[in-house]
């Protein structure tokens, strides 16, 4: 059993999806999905234990060894993200039943869970596999599932948002496929570790550079790096609330994982950062993302869109950390990966509560909510403080490392820019605070009740996680430092 | 005797413990305010006992959490912190008494939230006072900013919201933009954030890096209200007067200059500070801030606004004291924290009393008010004397040592600015009580003189206490003098 953990991680949600279709009954499906997700979470925790105890796990699919068969490889980086994805997915599913009752018709509910599980399976597949083509396959599974999830939104604009994402996502996937194809052409292998061994022999060829470029652009599209982020705000804004929670907290993070894996493990740090001006590109795009997206966020009246733009900005921070090209910088990226998932998870879940009671996430609808829904708004405020990077929240920890990394590299001006960027976060968070706490409630509506417990509880689980991991950083920082060291170790 | 460590934590937590009581009794005003008063009284007793223990040589050190190796939330008692805790601790209870009269007299709403946020702010001040390292200090500095925001916007009007926005944006912008960077920079340069006698930087630290850090610190500590980052202070005057009095004349602004002193003495150390070329420029900036703020204060007709600008100016004195990098300067700066606190809180109490009793906010309307409100106006007079630095009020001592500091370090420009500013203080503060008693021939308050009575009794008691304290501190400044002296004496063997 223990030996088969890597494949179980993927197979559990993948098989659970069709079973949902057999079960049909919405209530049943809901609990079944939750159980499957929690089961996946347990597996990921066991995997991390295994990795910490025995080092990298290698699992050959069907007993066929690589390079003939497909190989699954779990090291600390994979295990770290597996835990992130499965835990957020489980917490989001806790709230799903209640939230979806309002946002979907019952018949659609089952399909929602099917798509959700497929998306989860796809993301977990990307994280476990050690095969480049397999990455593409799972990427498509998760993407197609997420187009479906987004299209289920109540607002008809969700169809358009989903279509937009479909077009952009397909372009991204095609680029990735072209990249992988070229790599295969040059090396004759698809296994990442074989690739890593064979690429240096041919690394001066134009084809390899082109492959790298195609691949990077494709992945950056998937992770919504500015200026390739255009699909993201609409997708997050119009998707059903629970889908937004799940996608915002996990999908882009997994794409960043792919980026890290190929930069560090496949091509190697030397190739990525020395032969190409990747450092400059990433730093410039990261910074531009932080500023452009934050400024746009300030002017949004749809709060889900506002936080979607904020996500684009936060991705900018992660990419910036990576672009520094130092161990501390990578620690900052890895920390922010985890921490941002906690923040946005909490915020979007709280917004799910608002949608449930108020039915709108327009800033006007927030008038007076501070008094009427104190726990929900409290969650958003804590999440917002974390986004800003106030001490004792997770946001502070990642910002601390990012600034430290910038200072270590003697990039003072950029450190200042990063901090100025967090001030922009203050502005957009505070617009919401003012609306919720200072504007009197609209006269014509009856006072809204606090969000239902089944939404509040998962929201506050994530809020408390925001504070807990902001104080006890041993898990996140410890693991990030180990991962960073090992990724740079591989590069040598 | 209680263990000093326990007592120190108790001082930090005690105001927070009052909050459940305040909220639980939210509907019964008397009980709610009794809770605040009891907590305030206990806190006062606690800080006094703690001071006695500290005075007899007992140390206190507690570590709460460790975020990263070497980056922890921990507390330690040292002279300046004890001094600050004594000031804030003794004034909280007085302000609570005052607030009861004021808030009821003014018919304010949301009083429960008011008292609760107040308690959080005091707790943050205590945490800041005992902070053992820059990180802890930074955390409580931010908690203080955030917890006072609801107090500033208490009225909930557009004007309050606007003021709150200015307040929050300047304080957060400076603290996140500059102070945090300075903290991380210090960590990167020195490898530690713990306040250390003589500073944390070793000889290899380049002067350039130290200069940059110093500038970042001075600008980053927005609560010290050095121009051009002083705008939040007048903006915060939209708050109810007890808030202006305790927080924006004492706790919050003093937290700012306290941080400046701490950084100068324990992070840079006065020896290094003297060698940094930026110090000189910052000194001039602080001097300009003193002078300009005094000039602006002259032109304000709104009493609270005038007092706010006067605060900006007086804070500059303390920053100057720290930047002079001499023992006398540090001593004067630390003493001025105390003297200005008692003097300015008296003035604000009076301003609030006038507002509640006579509904007047503009100075030009206050002529002849002395007959109706004699106690208030006498207290105002005493408070003004202290701010100006005339006997028999506490301000004499601090201004004396600050001048000594400028003489020791041959800062003639700064010295003349201090002298000039004192003259300006006379010009903008003394006329108010004088006109109240001797209205002259100008427009006198005529509107139904009999209708104006003294302020509510609790407010009157409070402002009398602080006015008396101001005088007492002139005759017996020993406690605070010794604490300030040990701070200055500890910081290296320079000529005194």
Per-residue model confidence (pLDDT) at position A64? 78
Q: What local confidence, expressed as pLDDT, does residue B496 receive?
A: 34
B173–chain A nearest CA distance, Å: 6
CB contact under 8 Å between B176 and A389, yes or no, is yes
Write out B118-158 in H/E/C secondary structure: HHHHHHHHHHHHCECEHHHHHHHHHHHHHHHHHHHCCCCCH
What 8-state DSSP symbol labels residue A156? Answer: T
* B339 occurs within a structural domain: yes
* Facing B161 at nearest CB: one of A426, A438, A471: A438
Interchain CB contact of B1 with A (< 8 Å): no
Cβ separation B187–A389 shorter than 8 A: no
Is B495 within the bounds of a domain?
A: no
> B293 and B230 in contact (C-beta within 8 Å)?
yes
Taking the C-alpha atoms of residue A340 and residue A217, their distance in angstroms, rounded to an integer, is 23
- How many Å apart are CA B212 and CA B189, to the nearest integer? 12
Kindly determine whether residue B181 and residue A419, on different chains, have CB atoms separated by under 8 Å: yes
Quick check: B141 contacting A, CB < 8 Å? no
E strand intervals along A155-202: none
Which of A402, A419, A427 would you mutate first to test chain B, the one with the most B CBs within 10 A? A419
Taking the CA of residue A412 and the nearest CA in chain B, the distance in Å comes to 9
Nearest to A422 among B138, B176, B184 (CB): B176
CA atoms within 13 A on the CB side of B325: 24
Query: Is the Cβ of B65 closer than 8 Å to some Cβ of chain A?
Result: yes
Residues A472, B65: C-beta atoms closer than 8 Å: yes
CB contact under 8 A, A426 and B176: yes
Q: Is-contact A151 A162, C-beta < 8 A?
A: yes
The tens digit of pLDDT for each residue in A44-93 reads: 999 999 898 888 888 888 777 767 788 888 989 999 999 999 999 999 99
pLDDT of residue A198: 87
From the list A389, A416, A427, the residue facing B181 with the nearest CB is A416
- Ramachandran angles phi, psi of A372, nearest 5°: -80, -35
CB A345 within 8 A of CB A355: no
The number of folded domains in chain A is 1
Confidence (pLDDT) at B451: 63
Assess if residue B496 is contained within a domain: no
Domain that holds residue B62: 4-490
Count helices and strands (H / E) in chain A. Answer: 21, 2
Which of A389, A434, A471 faces B67 most closely, judged by CB atoms?
A471
**Distance between CA B1 and CA A489 in Å, rounded?**
57
In this structure, are residues B235 and B244 in contact, taking their beta carbons and an 8 Å threshold?
no
Count of other CB atoms within 10 angstroms of residue A478: 11
Residues of B in contact with A422 (CB under 8 A): 176
- Domains in chain B, number: 1
Please give the Cα distance from A328 to A336 (Å, whole number). 12
Q: What is the pTM of this model?
A: 0.88
Q: Compute the distance between CA of residue A86 and CA of residue A9 in angstroms, rounded to an integer.
A: 10
Residue B98 tokens read as: 């005052």
Q: For position B487, what pLDDT does the model report?
A: 82
Contact between chains at B142 and A400 (C-beta distance less than 8 A):
no
CB nearest B177 (choices: A408, A416, A477): A416
d(CA B477, CA B415): 24
**CA quadruple B433, B384, B304, B374: dihedral sign:** negative
Measure the CA dihedral A203/A206/A212/A217, to 10°. 160
Cβ contact A332:A351 at 8 Å: no
Contact predicate B454/B378, CB 8 Å:
no
Residue A440 covered by a domain: yes
Q: Which of B71, B161, B172 best tests the A interface by mutation, with the highest count of A CBs <10 A?
A: B172
Touching check for B180 and chain A: CB below 8 Å?
yes
Place of tokens 């955390």: B139
Using only the alpha carbons of chain B, give its radius of gyration.
21
Q: List phi, psi (to 5°) of A236.
A: -70, -35
Q: What is the pLDDT of residue A472?
A: 86
Helix, strand, coil fractions of chain B, as percent rounded to 5 = 75, 5, 20
A71 by DSSP, 3-state: which? strand
Size of interface A-B (CB pairs under 8 A): 62
CB contact under 8 A, A404 and B67: no
Task: Tell me the nearest-neighbour CA distance from A258 into chain B, angstroms.
Answer: 28
User: In a 3-state reduction of DSSP, which class is residue B93?
Assistant: helix
The H or E element that residue B64 is part of is: strand B61-68
CA distance A471 to chain B (A): 6
Length of chain A: 492
CA atoms within 13 A on the CB side of A76: 18
Task: Please tell me if residue B26 touches chain A, with a CB cutoff of 8 Å.
Answer: no
Mean pLDDT, contiguous 10-residue spans, chain B (496 residues): 83 89 81 86 91 86 83 89 90 87 76 85 92 92 90 84 88 88 89 87 84 91 87 86 82 91 90 88 91 90 90 91 89 90 90 85 82 87 90 87 89 90 90 84 57 78 89 86 78 37
* B169·A426 Cβ contact <8 A: yes
Contact B177 A390 (CB under 8 A): no
Q: Does residue A216 sit within a domain?
A: no
Q: Which residues of A touch B (CB under 8 A)?
A: 385, 388-392, 397, 400, 403-404, 407-408, 412, 415-416, 419-420, 422-423, 426-427, 430, 434, 438, 470-473, 477
Chain B residue whose CA is closest to A471: B67
CB contact under 8 A, B156 and A416: no
CA neighbor of A337 nearest in space, from A451, A252, A461 = A252
d(CA A3, CA A46): 11
Q: Report the SS3 class of residue B204.
A: coil
Total residues belonging to chain B: 496
Say if B185 is an interface residue toward chain A (CB within 8 Å).
yes
Under DSSP, is residue A223 helix (H, G, I), strand (E, B) or coil?
A: coil
The residue of A328, A332, A400 whose CB has the most chain B CBs within 10 angstroms, and thus the best one to mutate to test that interface, is A400
The DSSP symbol for A59 reads E
Task: Choose the closest CB to B173 out of A423, A438, A472.
Answer: A423
Contacts of B183 in chain A (CB under 8 A): none
Whole-number Å distance between alpha carbons of A126 and A262: 12
- Residue B303 lies inside a defined structural domain of this protein: yes
Q: Is residue B301 part of a domain?
A: yes
Query: Does B146 contact A390 at a Cβ distance shorter than 8 Å?
Result: yes
Q: Phi and psi (nearest 5°) for B131?
A: -55, 135
Positive or negative torsion for Cα B263, B265, B266, B270:
positive
Q: How many angstroms separate the CA atoms of A345 and A266, rounded?
A: 31
Its domain, for residue A366, covers 277-492
Enumerate the residues of chain A whose CB falls inside 8 A of the CB of residue B113: none
Is residue A58 helix, strand or coil? strand
Q: For the CA atoms of chain A, what is the radius of gyration? A: 21
Chain A residue closest to B165 (CA)?
A430
Of A385, A403, A473, the CB nearest to B68: A473
- Tell me whether B149 touches chain A (CB under 8 Å): no
Residue with token string 């959490």: B65
The pLDDT value recorded for residue B438 is 83
Identify which of B208, B215, B135 has the alpha carbon closest to the alpha carbon of residue B174: B215
H or E element in which residue A66 lies: none
| B313 CB-contact burial (10 Å; exposed 0-12 / middle 13-18 / buried 19+) | buried
Nearest to B405 by CA among B487, B339, B323: B323
Rounded distance, CA B408 to CA B272, Å? Answer: 17
Any idea what DSSP says for residue A446?
A: P
Yes or no: say if A23 and A29 are a contact pair by the CB < 8 Å rule.
yes
CB A218 within 8 A of CB A131: no
Residue B212, min C-alpha distance to chain A (Å): 10
Nearest CA in chain A to B153: A438
pLDDT digits (tens, 9 = 90+) for A93-136: 999 888 888 888 777 888 899 999 999 999 999 999 988 999 99
Classify the complex by whether its ipTM is higher than 0.85, answering yes or no: no
Measured in angstroms, the CA of B266 and the nearest CA of chain A are apart by: 22
| Average per-residue pLDDT for chain A | 89
* B416 in A contact zone (CB under 8 Å): no
Put simply, whether B188 touches A (Cβ < 8 Å) is: yes
Handedness of CA B254, B257, B259, B261 (dihedral sign): negative
Mean pLDDT by 10 residues, chain A (492 residues): 84 91 86 93 92 87 77 90 94 89 81 93 93 92 93 88 93 94 90 87 86 92 88 91 92 92 87 82 92 93 93 93 90 93 94 89 85 89 91 89 90 88 89 83 74 90 92 88 84 43
How far apart are the C-alpha atoms of A133 and A7, rounded to whole Å?
17
């Amino acid at each position: 059993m223990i030996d088969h953990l890597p494949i179980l991680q993927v197979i559990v949600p993948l098989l659970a999806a069709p079973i949902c279709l057999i079960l049909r009954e919405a209530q049943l499906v809901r609990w079944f999905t939750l159980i499957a997700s929690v089961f996946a979470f347990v597996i990921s925790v066991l995997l991390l234990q295994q990795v910490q105890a025995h080092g990298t796990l290698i699992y050959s699919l069907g007993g066929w060894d690589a390079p003939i068969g497909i190989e699954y490889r779990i090291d600390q980086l994979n295990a770290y993200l597996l835990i992130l994805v499965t835990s957020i997915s489980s917490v989001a599913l806790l709230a799903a039943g209640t939230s979806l009752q309002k946002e979907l018709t019952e018949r659609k509910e089952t399909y929602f869970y099917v798509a959700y599980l497929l998306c989860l399976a796809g993301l977990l597949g990307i994280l476990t596999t050690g095969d480049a083509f397999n990455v593409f396959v799972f990427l498509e599974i998760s993407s197609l599932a997420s187009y479906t999830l987004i299209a289920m939104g109540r607002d008809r604009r969700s169809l358009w948002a989903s279509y937009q994402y479909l077009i952009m996502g397909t372009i991204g996937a095609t680029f990735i496929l072209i990249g992988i194809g070229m790599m295969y052409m040059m090396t004759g292998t698809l296994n990442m570790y074989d690739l890593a061994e064979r690429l240096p022999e041919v690394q001066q060829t134009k084809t390899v550079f082109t492959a790298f470029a195609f691949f990077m652009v494709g992945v950056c599209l998937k992770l919504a790096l500015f200026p390739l982020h255009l699909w993201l705000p609409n997708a997050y804004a119009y998707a059903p609330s629970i889908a937004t929670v799940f996608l915002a907290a996990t999908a882009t993070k997994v794409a960043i994982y792919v980026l890290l894996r190929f930069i560090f493990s496949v091509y190697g740090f030397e190739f990525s950062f020395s032969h190409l001006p990747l450092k400059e590109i990433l730093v410039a795009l990261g910074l531009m993302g932080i500023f452009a997206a934050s400024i746009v966020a300030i002017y949004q009246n749809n709060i889900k869109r506002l936080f979607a733009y904020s996500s684009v900005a936060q991705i900018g921070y992660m990419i910036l950390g990576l672009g520094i090209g130092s161990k501390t910088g990578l620690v900052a990226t890895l920390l922010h990966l985890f921490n941002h998932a906690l923040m946005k998870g909490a915020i979007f879940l709280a917004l799910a509560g608002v949608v449930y009671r108020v039915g709108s996430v327009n800033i006007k609808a927030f008038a007076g909510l501070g008094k009427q829904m104190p726990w929900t708004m409290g969650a958003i405020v804590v999440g917002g403080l974390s986004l800003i990077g106030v001490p004792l929240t997770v946001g502070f920890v990642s910002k601390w490392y990012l600034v430290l990394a910038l200072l270590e590299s003697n990039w003072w001006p950029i450190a200042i820019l990063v901090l100025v960027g967090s001030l922009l976060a203050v502005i957009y968070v505070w617009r919401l605070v003012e609306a919720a706490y200072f504007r009197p409630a609209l006269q014509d509506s009856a006072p809204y009740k606090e969000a239902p417990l089944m939404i509040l509880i998962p929201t506050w689980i994530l809020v408390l996680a925001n504070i807990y991991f902001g104080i006890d950083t041993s898990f996140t920082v410890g693991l990030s430092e180990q991962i960073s060291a090992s990724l740079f170790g591989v590069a040598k | 005797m209680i263990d000093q460590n326990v007592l120190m934590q108790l001082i930090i937590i005690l105001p927070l413990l009052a909050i459940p009581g305040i909220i639980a009794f939210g509907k019964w005003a008397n009980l709610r305010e009794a809770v605040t008063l009891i907590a305030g009284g206990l806190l006062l007793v606690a800080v006094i006992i703690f001071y006695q223990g500290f005075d007899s040589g007992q140390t206190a050190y507690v570590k709460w959490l460790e975020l990263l190796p070497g980056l922890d939330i921990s507390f330690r008692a040292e002279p300046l912190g004890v001094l600050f805790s004594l000031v804030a601790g003794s004034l909280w209870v007085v302000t609570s008494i005052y607030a009861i009269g004021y808030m009821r007299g003014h018919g304010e709403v949301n009083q429960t939230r008011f008292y609760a946020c107040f308690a959080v702010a005091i707790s943050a001040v205590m945490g800041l006072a005992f902070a053992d390292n820059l990180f802890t200090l930074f955390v409580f500095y931010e908690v203080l900013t955030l917890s006072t925001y609801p107090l500033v916007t208490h009225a909930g009007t557009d004007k309050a919201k606007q003021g709150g926005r200015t307040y929050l944006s300047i304080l957060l912008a400076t603290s996140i933009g500059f102070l945090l960077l300075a903290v991380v920079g210090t960590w990167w340069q020195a490898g530690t954030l713990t306040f250390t006698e003589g500073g944390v930087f070793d000889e290899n630290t380049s002067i350039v890096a130290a200069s940059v850090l110093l500038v970042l610190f001075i600008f980053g500590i927005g609560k010290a209200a050095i121009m051009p980052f002083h705008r939040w202070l007048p903006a915060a005057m939209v708050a109810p007067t007890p808030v202006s009095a305790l927080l924006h004349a004492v706790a919050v602004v003093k937290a700012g200059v306290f941080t400046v002193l701490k950084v100068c003495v324990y992070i840079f150390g006065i020896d290094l500070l003297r060698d940094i070329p930026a110090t000189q420029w910052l000194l001039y900036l602080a001097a300009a801030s003193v002078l300009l703020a005094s000039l602006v204060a002259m032109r304000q007709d709104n009493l609270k606004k005038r007092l706010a600008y006067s605060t900006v100016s007086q804070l500059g004195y303390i920053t100057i004291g720290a930047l002079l990098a001499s023992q006398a300067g540090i001593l004067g700066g630390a003493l001025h924290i105390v003297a200005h606190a008692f003097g300015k809180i008296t003035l604000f109490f009076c301003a609030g009393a006038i507002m509640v009793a006579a509904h007047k906010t503009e100075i030009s309307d206050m002529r002849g008010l002395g007959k109706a409100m004699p106690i208030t106006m006498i207290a105002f007079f005493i408070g003004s004397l202290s701010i100006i630095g005339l006997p028999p009020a506490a301000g004499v001592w601090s201004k004396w040592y600050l001048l000594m500091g400028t003489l020791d370090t041959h800062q003639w420009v700064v010295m003349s600015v201090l002298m000039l500013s004192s003259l300006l203080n006379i010009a903008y503060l003394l006329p108010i009580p004088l006109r109240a008693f001797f209205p002259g021939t100008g427009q006198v308050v005529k509107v139904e003189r009999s209708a104006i009575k003294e302020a509510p009794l609790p407010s009157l008691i409070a402002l009398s206490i602080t006015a008396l304290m101001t005088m007492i501190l002139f005759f017996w400044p020993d406690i605070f003098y010794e604490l300030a002296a040990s701070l200055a004496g500890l910081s290296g063997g320079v000529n005194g």
